[in-house]
């Protein structure tokens, strides 16, 4: 790995790039941009890429100066899923089922994550996108769960995340046919939030990440936790959990700063404390 970026764990920001194999991490102020960089293979993920991606996630989680993440790909694809050529390398189905998973790594991000989907988001690539909190798509993007065409199904949360995001009938259509849907359909179904021109995708994702990064970082992380709880808990329990998270946020220095800034008619300076 080559690196020109600092490893600050304070509230200060830095700029730089780290590259290992086919995954790149760019630090731009308080925003981390993780790029799958294997365009010749449609950014299909190898075990080595999974290891690198998991390492970058750990770095982002550990650094207090990083407050938002953009995940994207190079070339014609966001990610075409796992590299199928390597799937026969596992000694047994048990070993395959217990392999480190890149979708698990992305869902492990504690910071708000924005998927900038530039092209094909197929199979595990669709699951990567679904693991992010906000999804933006280029007009060239398309989405598919094609595993059924090869004799299996997705294993990185595909069914449950699709059902939550596009509804059971649309999820069933994708899962049972394996056929792709275009960006306009994805927007209509609620799979993505915005569709923009290809050359506007990354600037828009960075802009949105910058807005998120300007908010109170502890509140942003707890809001992400709270959104996940909304899918996992019964109503009253979820509301109680939300209230407890609110109490934690209210006790932070950032909340005091927010109240002071409001009273003084100025922009708050959040420090993640």
**Quick one: 228 exposed, middle or buried, by C-beta within 10 A (0-12, 13-18, 19+)?**
exposed
pLDDT value of position 2: 34
- pLDDT category of residue 12 using cuts at 50, 70 and 90: very low
- Spans of all domains in the chain: 2-214, 217-263
Task: Give the pTM.
Answer: 0.90
Mean pLDDT taken over the chain = 91
Cβ atoms of 36 and 73 closer than 8 Å: yes
pLDDT value of position 9: 43
Q: How far apart are CA 79 and CA 117, in angstroms?
A: 9
* Three-state secondary-structure class, residue 31: strand
CATH 3.30.1370.60 fits 2-214, yes or no: no
Tokens of 189: 């179904």
Tokens of 240: 């109680």
- Range 217-263: architecture per CATH: Orthogonal Bundle (1.10)
Edge-first strand order for the sheet with 23-29 is 2-3, 14-20, 23-29, 31-36, 68-73, 113-117, 134-138, 194-196
pLDDT value of position 54: 96
pLDDT at 240 over 60: yes
What ranges make up the beta strands (E) of the chain?
2-3, 14-20, 23-29, 31-36, 68-73, 77-79, 113-117, 120-122, 134-138, 142-144, 181-182, 194-196
Q: pLDDT tens, 82-125?
A: 887 767 676 677 777 667 799 999 999 999 999 999 999 999 99
Mean pLDDT of all residues in 7-19: 57
Report the first-to-last Cα separation within the chain, whole angstroms: 32
Q: pLDDT tens, 58-72?
A: 999 999 999 999 999
Active site residues: 127, 147
Taking alpha carbons only, the member of 136, 128, 110 closest to residue 227 is 110
């Amino acid at each position: 790995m080559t690196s020109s970026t600092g490893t600050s764990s304070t509230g200060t920001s830095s700029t730089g790039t780290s590259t290992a194999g086919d995954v790149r991490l760019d630090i731009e102020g308080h925003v981390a941009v993780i790029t799958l960089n294997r365009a010749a293979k449609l950014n299909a993920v190898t075990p080595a890429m999974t290891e690198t991606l998991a390492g970058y996630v750990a770095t982002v989680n550990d650094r207090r100066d990083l407050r938002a993440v953009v995940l994207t790909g190079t070339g014609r694809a966001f990610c075409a899923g796992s590299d199928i050529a390597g799937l026969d390398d596992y000694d047994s189905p048990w070993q395959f089922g217990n392999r480190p998973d890149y979708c698990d790594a992305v869902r492990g991000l504690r910071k708000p994550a924005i998927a900038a989907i530039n092209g094909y988001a197929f199979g595990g690539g669709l699951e990567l996108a679904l693991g992010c909190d906000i999804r933006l798509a280029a007009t060239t993007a398309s989405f598919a769960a094609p595993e059924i065409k090869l004799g299996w199904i997705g294993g990185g949360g595909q069914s449950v995340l699709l059902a939550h995001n596009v509804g059971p009938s649309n999820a069933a259509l994708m899962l049972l046919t394996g056929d792709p849907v275009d960006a306009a359909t994805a927007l209509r179904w609620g799979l993505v939030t915005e569709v923009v021109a290809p050359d506007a995708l990354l600037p828009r994702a960075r802009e949105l990440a910058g807005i998120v990064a300007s908010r109170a970082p502890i509140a942003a992380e707890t809001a992400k936790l709270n959104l996940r709880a909304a899918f996992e808990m019964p109503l009253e329990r979820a509301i109680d959990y939300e209230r407890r998270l609110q109490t934690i946020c209210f006790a932070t220095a950032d909340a005091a700063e927010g109240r002071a800034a409001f009273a003084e008619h100025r922009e708050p300076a959040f420090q993640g404390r």
